[in-house]
Every structure is written in structure tokens, then in C-alpha cells.
Amino acid sequence: MEKQATIIDIARTLNISTSTVSRALRNTFDVKAETREAVMALAEKLNYQPNRLAISLLKRQTHTIGVIIPNLDFVLSTMVKGIDEVALEAGYTVMVCQSNESFGRELVNTKRLLDSLVDGIIVSVSSETKVFEHIKKIKDRNIPLVVFDRVNKEIVAPHVQLDNVEGGVLATEHLLEQGYQKIAILAGPQNLDISNKRMEGYLNTLKKHGLRIKKDFIIHCDFNQDYAYEATKELLTMKNRPDAIFTISDRMAIGASLAIKEKGLRMPTDIGLVGFNNEPITKLVTPNISSVEQPAFEMGKITAKLFIEMMNSKKDMNNEEIILKPKLFIRESSLRFTKKV
Amino acid sequence: MEKQATIIDIARTLNISTSTVSRALRNTFDVKAETREAVMALAEKLNYQPNRLAISLLKRQTHTIGVIIPNLDFVLSTMVKGIDEVALEAGYTVMVCQSNESFGRELVNTKRLLDSLVDGIIVSVSSETKVFEHIKKIKDRNIPLVVFDRVNKEIVAPHVQLDNVEGGVLATEHLLEQGYQKIAILAGPQNLDISNKRMEGYLNTLKKHGLRIKKDFIIHCDFNQDYAYEATKELLTMKNRPDAIFTISDRMAIGASLAIKEKGLRMPTDIGLVGFNNEPITKLVTPNISSVEQPAFEMGKITAKLFIEMMNSKKDMNNEEIILKPKLFIRESSLRFTKKV
DNA sequence: TAAAATACCGGTAACGTTACCGGTATTTTC
DNA sequence: GAAAATACCGGTAACGTTACCGGTATTTTA
């Protein structure tokens, strides 16, 4: 079984033309039943597989979707799983590229995917990405594009994202409800939309309750456990230290948690903590960490569905915007009182 | 910029043949300097990109590597990152498929990758996989294959894997050194090679120290936190309960840890615990969990390198076997005495 | 200055498949 | 039983690129 059998091999052995074989293998249109069966039988016997390259070249589509993501953490790999699920169902193969949160790598990845002639691209931008020329190039080539999770207003394309503002609201309202008054926030990089939105929710909630916003309580740092640890240490040495911290990721919450424990403070008594993403780890550390969940798997599936709808309908969906709702999971790190009825 | 420019467009506007354009764009062989420059300039202007499909069809290679993995957990996604790194460097694009630990899905994935005409496949088998006909089909088609991490002797192909026996030895020796005598093991599914090997290391070490092996202390369960939790609860209700547990994954160690805490036992005083993989989480739970690390990123890189070497040299490497050494990280969960000098 | 070597270029086939058109043979219609 | 419809099939071009061969025009060699 050295070489893959082709349509020509079948045609030759059956003494018919390749056109007829081609038709027999697919449509059953304009082909006699017995010849069709003969073709089918031989194809089976030779283990014939149509050559996708030839078909792709001819039809100018590869049935491949490129996905660019900043990393493969819990949330994103769950989203990818969702995308995969739906894409596979619809007959597409998915090509995943990680940018490792690097802008340069993101450029290379987009170039590579365009070069691979993918039918479309789904992207979640890296935290370093501040300009979007490479994304525009995708649109210039008339290649369908959907952005998800880490979106940006400058990108003209359908968006699928979490209601990040609402996420910030949920966390902050909950902390206030638990009697915390001086709430700090560990936000992410300033150019990241998801970070700003979550902070917006935090700010809105404080304003709504007539609380003063302290600049010192707003820390921008990398999505990184170590940075969060350092930042929290700083926060806790302030003369008027915060009595609660909202971090926009669970990794950061873990870092904060370590700093808090090291300082000898206890959660939730002395200080409250709420993270974001509801990663499994939040349930495993002591104390458990409250966290805002995003429906990652769902988001992946919806993104892929929207994408496929766009591919099929060919209509302009640039203004489409799907927003999913977050959900707060309350755990030990912030639960001082059981909820009043 | 509607349609992608082709070599034919360039040829036509320059009034030369496509052959010449093709040569000009690559070799500079048999082509006058000025025509080459003219071609280059026009190509630049039209933003010409060679069509990979056409080239792949002609050359019968796609410069794509398919990777099949059971999931995207910490270890495997780190390995994929390593593969990606090396593959990209060598001009290959990587197509990752998850089997979700499902045999059926693994079949679909291999079929899909073969269908996509990848130049080769790198695979780590799912925990459900007990027969390897689908893998044989890859070999039948003469497509280079490397297995890594989750390998199996039945697969005829180069193997890259951890010295799992040594991992089991490291963990068990350490527990004995710490004075634990009755060591139980939470092993994985029985058909999984990595599980059996780690257990082999455990058994060897006990034998070496002249200790009796208790059947009751060997539990086979799924790679799952919940199963590990239940299994540990059972273990701890035995009249002669173990005083240490070695789990072959960190997920399982977490489950065990929960059961231990629930039972009111303390680590490392009452009971010792060692996990496997050295996932970040081991450092974050209380107590920290000792764990055997495998050099995942390195393993990914080595796998890809071996693979590319195989592709280039075309020689038979089926007997190649690369074995990487694990390393034990000792933490609170098993450290009763600081090491004697 | 004729012969040989070289520089440069074009034509054709090929990779595997499908779309389209046209052409026989067979069947249907009245 | 002739005309019209239908069933079935084959040939050709096309997708974009490169390998190979052969052919002029120019340069080198003696």
C-alpha cells in the first residue's frame, strides 16, 4: 500500500473516464447504477481517499479555520475545545496558534495562517497587542474574521465576549454586601479591553454606592501570579490598607492570597478576596477563592457557530456582538456573612 | 485587493513566461538580474504570496505536522508548546487535535489528519486506547510517526518518553527515607503504560528494601480528582491504613489531599503524599505537595527535533527511544525530616 | 572567425480533482 | 415510426506552481 490511489487509477482499471468516476463517487448524478457500484467497490478496495489539496486548489477553500490565542491556560483551552467541537461538526479542521502573549508572535501566526490559506480566522489578541494592522490585513484579503474573548473596538469584525463590566459589578457588589468598604483592584495591562471593562464594573459600582475611588487602590500589573504577589504586598503595607481585593484573574488571586497569608492576615475575616475565571484551582487552595465564572466552553461554541454562519451566509456581520453573562461563585475567601433572606 | 495575485499575473504584465517568474522568485538561477528585479518589484507591489496548495499538490508535501493528544492539561500543553517552537523554526505548521481521552475521537482525529495530508503525525495516545489499528494505518500510508509521553510498546515507531519507572522510584525512595513504611499507590488506568511504569518503580523500590507488597495498597483509578478522593477515603478507613500515598498525577494528589484533610489527618506528620507532574498547583495548595517533575517543554522540543530528523533523513528510526529523566521536588506534604548530611 | 560554451528564456507536462459542454445511445411521446 | 426527451458518458480546461527539456542569442575559446 505504497502510494495513495487516485481517481485516475480507478478510471483506468475500469476503463472509464475520470469525470465519470468523480461523479460516481459523489453525486450519483448522471451515472448508471452499476458503474457507480463498480466504482464504489474499487474505491473501497483501493482505500481511495480524495486528495484534499487538489480539491482545495480547485474550489479555493481549505475547510480549515485558523485560531490565534495568547496562550493555552484553563479558560482559553476550554474555549478552544468549544470551537473545536462545533468546527468539527461542520466539517472544518482547526489550526491553533499560540502567540504566547507576544505581539511579534501574533504577527508571525497571522502571516502563517494566511499563508496556509485558511478559510477564516478566529482571534483573541495578545496582551501586548496595541496596533491592529495585521488584523486589517486579514480583512483586506477578504478572509472571514471573528474576534472573541480578548476583543478590541478598533477591530472591525463580529465580537464574542463576556460582559466583563458585569463581571466587575458582580464581584464588587458582593464584596460591598459582605461589608467590605475599602476595595482595591488588581487590574491587568492597560491596553487590554477585558481588563478595562472589569475595572469599569468595579468603578461603576463604587460610584453607585457613593464611595470615593482611591487611585492608590487601582493597580495595573501583568496577568501574572508573581506581579500580583508583589503588588498585594505593597497594598498591605499602606497605612490605610484595603480590606478587600478584587483581582481580574485567578492566577492573580493566588498571588494575592499568598501575600495576604504571608502578612498574617486572614480571609475572609481581615480581608476579602475575589478572583476571576473560576478556574478549578480556586476550589483547591485554602481558603477557597470566590471567583467570577465565564462560560468558556459555551463561548467557544458560540464563536464557532457565529463564524460558520458568517461563512455560509456571506453577509456582513461586522456589527454583530454577542455578549455572555458571567456568574459569581462565592467561596470562603469573601464570605463573612451568610446571605440574609 | 480582492483576489490574490498569482505568478501568472506577474508573467502577463511583464510579458515573460511563468517559468521565468517562478525561477526569478526563488533561485536566481538562469535568470538575468534585471528581469529578476522587475519580477521581485512587481511581486512586492502586488503583495504576491505563493499558493501553498499548488506547491503542496505538486511536491506532495504540506509542511504540516499533525499532533494528537488526549487533552490540554498543564503537562501536555507545555509539551505542545515545545513541539510548536521547534516545528515553527523548521518551517512546519502544527495541527493539534484533542482526543479528550476518547478512543473514538482518536480514530476520528487520525482519519482527519491523514485526510489533511499532513507530512507526519506525532501522537500521545488516549487512556481508552487499547488497540492500535488506526496507528498502523498511519504507518501503512508511509507517513512518519513519532509517539511521545503516552507511548505503547505495540506501536512500531520512535518513542520519546519519561523514565516513568525512575519517577516511581524517586517518589517511593523519598517516602521511605522520610520514615514512611506503609506506602499506598494511586495508579491510573491499567492499560496505560505511564501508569504501569510508575507503579513498576514503586514496586521495585519496595522489593529492593525487602518490604512486603500489599495488594490492598494498589488502587487503579481514573486520572481524576474525584476518583482519587473516593479511593483515598477507602484507603484511610482500613484497619491498617497506609501512612503514605504516592499518586501518579497531581490531580489525583489533590483529591487525595482533600480526603486526608477531611479525615482529620495531617501531612506530613500523620501521612505523607507525593504527586506527579509538578504542576503549579502543587505549590499553591496547603500543604504544598511534593511532586515528580517531567521536563515537558524539553520533551516537546526533543520530540519535534527527532521527528524532523526522521523526515529529513528518511531512514528507519523505529527503534529509536529517547528517555528523559524526572526530578523530584520535595515539599511540605512529605517532608518530615530535613535531610541528613 | 568558426566552433563551442554559456546565459537566458519559453513551452509543456504534471500534481488530483471537478465544472462544463457536447455527444451518443436509449427511451419516451404522440 | 419520427421527433423529442432523457440517460449516460467522455473530453477539455482549470486551480497555481515547478521540473524538465529544448531552443535562441550571446559570449568565450582557440
- What's the pLDDT tens digit per position in B42-77? 999 999 999 999 999 999 999 999 999 999 999 999
Decide if B146 contacts B122 (C-beta within 8 A): yes
Q: How confident is the model at residue A335 (pLDDT cuts 50, 70, 90)?
A: very high
Cell matching residue A198: 472589569
Q: Is A284 on the interface with B (CB under 8 A)?
A: yes
**DSSP symbols for A80-102:** HHHHHHHHHHTT-EEEEEE-TT-
Q: Counting every residue, how long is chain B? A: 341
- Quick check: do B62-161+296-324 and B164-294+328-334 share a fold? yes
Longest pairwise C-alpha distance within chain A: 91
Residues in B touching A254 (Cβ below 8 Å): 284
Mean pLDDT of A73-102: 94
Which one of B53, B117, B281 has the shortest CB-CB distance to A57?
A: B53
Mean pLDDT of A275-293: 92
CA of B62 to C1' of D21 (A): 27
Which one of A84, A140, A258 has the shortest CB-CB distance to B98?
A: A84
Q: How far is A57 from chain B (nearest CA, A)?
A: 6
Q: Counting every residue, how long is chain A? A: 341
Closest CA to A88 of B107, B62, B53: B107
| Helices A52-59 & B52-59 angle (0-180, nearest 10) | 150
Q: Is B1 on the interface with A (CB under 8 A)?
A: yes
- A49·B1 Cβ contact <8 A: no
What residue type is assigned to position A218 of the chain? Answer: I
Q: In what order do the strands lie in the sheet with A183-187?
A: A218-220, A183-187, A244-247, A272-277, A290-293, A327-329
CA of B25 to C1' of C12 (A): 20
Which one of A57, A95, A98 has the shortest CB-CB distance to B95?
A: A95
Q: Where are the alpha helices (DSSP H) in chain A?
A: 7-14, 18-25, 33-46, 52-59, 74-89, 103-115, 133-140, 164-177, 193-208, 225-237, 250-262, 296-313
Query: What topology does CATH give the domain B62-161+296-324?
Result: Rossmann fold (3.40.50)
Whether B16 sits with its Cβ under 7 A from any strand C atom: the answer reads: yes
Q: Is the pLDDT of residue A339 over 80?
A: no
- What's the pLDDT tens digit per position in A240-258? 999 999 999 999 999 999 9
Cα gap B280→B329, rounded to integer Å: 12
CATH of A63-162+296-325, one of 1.10.1740.110, 3.40.109.10, 2.40.110.20, 3.40.50.2300: 3.40.50.2300
- B284·A285 Cβ contact <8 A: yes
Best of A7, A56, A137 to mutate (most B CBs within 10 Å, chain B): A56
pLDDT of residue B90: 94
Q: Is the pLDDT of residue B210 over 60?
A: yes
| Helices A7-14 & A18-25 angle (0-180, nearest 10) | 110
Decide if A251 contacts A228 (C-beta within 8 A): yes
Mean of pLDDT over chain A? 93
Q: Which is it for the CA torsion B211, B213, B214, B216, positive or negative?
A: positive
- B84·A98 Cβ contact <8 A: yes
- What's the pLDDT tens digit per position in B138-175? 988 889 999 999 999 899 999 999 999 999 999 999 99
CA distances from A267 to A226, A241, A246, A295, B230 (A): 20, 15, 13, 27, 29
Residues in A touching B64 (Cβ below 8 Å): 116
Cα gap A244→A273, rounded to integer Å: 6
Closest CA to A173 of A194, A144, A204: A204
Whether A60 sits with its Cβ under 7 A from any strand D atom: the answer reads: yes
Mean pLDDT of B250-263: 94
Decide if B284 contacts B301 (C-beta within 8 A): no
| Omega of the bond leading into A326 within 30 degrees of 0 (cis) | no
3-state secondary structure of A220: strand
Decide if B69 contacts B98 (C-beta within 8 A): yes
3-state secondary structure of B36: helix
Query: What topology does CATH give the domain A164-294+328-334?
Result: Rossmann fold (3.40.50)
Q: Which nucleotides of D are covered by protein (CB under 7 A)?
A: 7-12, 14-20
Q: How confident is the model at residue A341 (pLDDT cuts 50, 70, 90)?
A: very low
Nearest residue in A to B85, CA atom: A98
Q: Is A54 on the interface with B (CB under 8 A)?
A: yes
Domain-wise residue ranges, chain A: 7-50, 63-162+296-325, 164-294+328-334
Report the run of H or E that residue A280 belongs to, with start and end.
none
Q: Is the pLDDT of residue B340 over 70?
A: no
Mark residues 44-73 of chain B whose C-beta is closer than 7 A to nucleic acid strand C: 54, 57-58, 60
Which residues does A268 contact at the CB level (< 8 Å), separation at least 6? A178, A287, A332, A333, A334, A335, A336
Best of A71, A110, A112, A116 to mutate (most B CBs within 10 Å, chain B): A116
Architecture of domain B7-50: Orthogonal Bundle (1.10)
